[in-house]
Amino acid sequence: MGMMPSFMPRIDYTGLLWVVALSALTYLPWLLFWLRTELRWSEVLLAAYLCNVVQIIGLQVALGLIGQLYAMPLAVATFVCSGIVLWQAVRLQRRRASRIGTGEPTRWRQLRWRQLIDAGREIGHSRVSVLLLGLLGANLLWLLFLACIFPPYAYDEFYYHMPIVATIIQEHTIVPPDSAIPYIQAYPRFSELLSVWNSIFLHRDTFADLAQVPMLAMGGLALYIIARNAGAMRRWAIACAALWWFCPIVILQANTTYNDIMLGGWWACALAFALPNSSRESHAAQDRRQGRPVLVALAGGLMLGSKISGQVHVVALALLLLYLAWQQRSAWRITFKQIAGWMGMVAITGGVWHVLNAIQWGNPFYPIPIRVFGVALLPGDDYLMNSIIGGAAEQHVAHIPTLPLRVLSLWFDLGNGYEIGAPLNGFGPLWPIVALPALVLATVWAWQRRDFLVHGLLLIAAMLLILTPASWTPRYSLALVAIGALALAKLSAVFTARTQHWVAGAMGGLSILSLLLTTDHLYFDVPRIRKFTALPDAQRIATQWDPGSFGATYQWIEANTHQGHITLAYDGVTLVYPLWGYGFRNRVIYVRPNDTRPYFDDLQTAGVNYAVVNKTWPSAKALQQDARAHVAFDGPDDLIVFTIQQP
């Protein structure tokens, strides 16, 4: 750090290099693996990203299930797995080259550079495309900078996303321990596992918020592929991708551990490999050879394992596959067999949380209660369901009577400014000004041409909106963005060249506006950026981020747990994550109060040094009445810290 030129921001470059190198280690073999197929470059990049994420998550799930999720076994498993992928890529390519004969240059040598050069030329001629890609690049660098200088900072990150990450790193297992936060126990956790990957090797959260930044680029790449498959030229396809790249809620969530953009992004990836290519006859056998159904299944599995509403998205995807089979006039028996096989692959990829929930709660779909005519078949958690459904958010739209009106009006950004969890806005100006007219026009135009793909997708989108809780909130309906891109792509065949220029030019301007509106939001004001740029990494923590929310008690804990080997128990604490301290220094557990024994005894048995409890909770009263518990700190906030002497 001392050798760093003064103009360079104070970032842990060595740590960043480690994280990037390890991720590249898993990505590059998959890139070579998919390059041997006939997929286009853009599809190869996306397929490699999908497999890269499945590998990272899959290895953590496998090690986590046997309680061995430590840094070293994960590194060894990653080296072995990537080695096998690399070996397979080379072997399959050699076999393919020998089948073709020695006269033809192999794909390794070709690597389809010609395709890349053509793409570069076409894009280079379009000023709007260059502008959009330049804006994307600049925004990715900005998000990288923010993710490196700030700790996890958003409310839900403190509440449950980062506690999930910290608990997994602490317990070395993905089987959740007892917790006061129901999300920790009954929540699909694939997105969080990506942050575990970015944190476990360095044993700190410096780069936890970096884990989902690639999805900002990759979701747009998926939209680009959807547009290219619909027959759009590259420059128009880049404009379609801008719907994702410059969607404010996508940008805002990209450097957090929230998982809305992962769900919307995986949905776009699934569509990128599921929708037919208009420039060639779609043959099921050819698609299978290229691995498209497997890629769609992987994307489906990632949706299933990332968010509770992923289940609805998987059903929607299955309906889409049925619809596509019907369009291609496939035999029903074969179609149903293929869909059943596909669902099996989805379940294997993403169903691990359902298995754990079935074991723990007796209901794979927990916390969703399964009821038939009011009779409860499988138990659920109504409190958790209400908090997921967003009972509090409902009040914001109570004055808008119907779902279609709510959805439509929120597309115009009703709230004041953007923020990560904003219930009333998030799609930004590109969606209502470009995508909405495109959806209307494409629906009419495609109807005339008897091309019902957009209509089929809109019906599926309607089903998603009806079945997804609080779907009127833009961040819960990001699946729509891919459908908007398809509609816009379809229209490229009907607009005059001049109109395409105007629309693309307008999109360039609106993208700049989107970026400006997103950059200017409440989390990253200038004093905060200046302060955190100057801080050493070990002080980039919650109490520095927001001393208002993390006041005296949190500061006392931060100051008094530096010696290490400290176990903290909590009860009635909402924002738990800062209790872990920098570098996941403390052990943080939940000890459930028990009516039959003194709470102190349970805390002592669990090896707790400090109990952090809400003053108004029964556990606080129980400890106050127990002569063995001493008040270590009684702050002006709602919390009180007790010392639990070990025998």
Partner 1 sequence: MKPSSSDPPDPSDPHQARLMSAVMLALMGLCAAVYFLLPNRGAFFTHIWAWVLSWR
* Binds partner 1 by CB under 8 A, chosen from 429, 474, 484, 581: 429
Residue 301 CB, nearest distance to partner 1 (Å)?
37
Helices vs strands, H then E, count in the chain = 32, 7
Report how far apart, in Å, the C-alpha atoms of 141 and of each of 65, 137, 178, 608 are: 36, 6, 39, 42
From the list 470-478, 486-494, 609-617, 632-640, the region that binds partner 1 by CB under 8 A is: 486-494
Among 365, 445, 452, 523, binds partner 1 (CB under 8 A): 445
459 binds partner 1 (CB under 8 A): no
Pairing of strands 587-589, 567-571: parallel
The full 3-state SS of 389-413, as one line of letters, equals HCHHHHHHHCCCCCHHHHHHHHCCC
Tell whether residue 115 is a contact of partner 1 (CB under 8 A).
no
Q: Is 436 in the site for partner 1 (CB under 8 A)?
A: yes
7 near partner 1, judged by CB under 8 A: no
Strands (E), 41-157: none
For residues 155 and 577, give the distance between their C-alpha atoms in angstroms, rounded to a whole number: 10
Does residue 220 interact with partner 1 by CB under 8 A? no
**CA distances from residue 283 to 249, 270, 287, 288, 634 in whole angstroms, order as listed:** 37, 18, 6, 9, 70
Tell me how crowded residue 193 is: count the other CB atoms within 10 A of its CB. Answer: 27
Residue 501 binds to partner 1 (criterion: CB under 8 A): yes
412 makes contact with partner 1 (CB under 8 A): yes
Contact 143, 216 (CB under 8 A): yes
Smallest distance from the beta carbon of 234 to partner 1, in angstroms?
A: 10
Which residue in 273, 264, 214, 227 sits closest to 129, CA to CA? Answer: 227
> Binding of partner 1 at residue 520 (CB under 8 A)?
yes
CB nearer to partner 1: give 385 or 513.
513
Residue 494 CB, shortest distance to partner 1, in Å, is 5
**Least distance in Å: CB of 429 to partner 1?**
6
Gap between the Cα atoms of 605 and 624, Å rounded:
18
User: Rule CB under 8 A: is residue 434 a binding residue for partner 1?
Assistant: yes
- Contact call for residue 455 and partner 1 (CB under 8 A): no
Q: Is 279 one of the binding residues for partner 1 (CB under 8 A)?
A: no
Out of 526, 548, 595, 636, the only residue in the binding site for partner 1 (CB under 8 A) is 526
Paired tokens of 381: 């958690």
Q: How many CB atoms lie within 10 A of CB 386?
A: 14
Binding mask 355-374 for partner 1 (x = CB under 8 A): --------------------
Residues 537-596 that bind partner 1 (CB under 8 A): none
The two three-digit tokens of residue 202, written as one number: 């360095």
- Judge whether 418 and 249 are in contact, CB under 8 Å: yes
- 487 in contact with partner 1 (CB under 8 A): no
Among 27, 236, 570, 590, binds partner 1 (CB under 8 A): 236
Residues in the site for partner 1, rule: CB under 8 A? 122, 125, 233, 236, 412-417, 429, 432-434, 436-438, 440-441, 445, 491-503, 505-506, 516-517, 519-520, 525-527
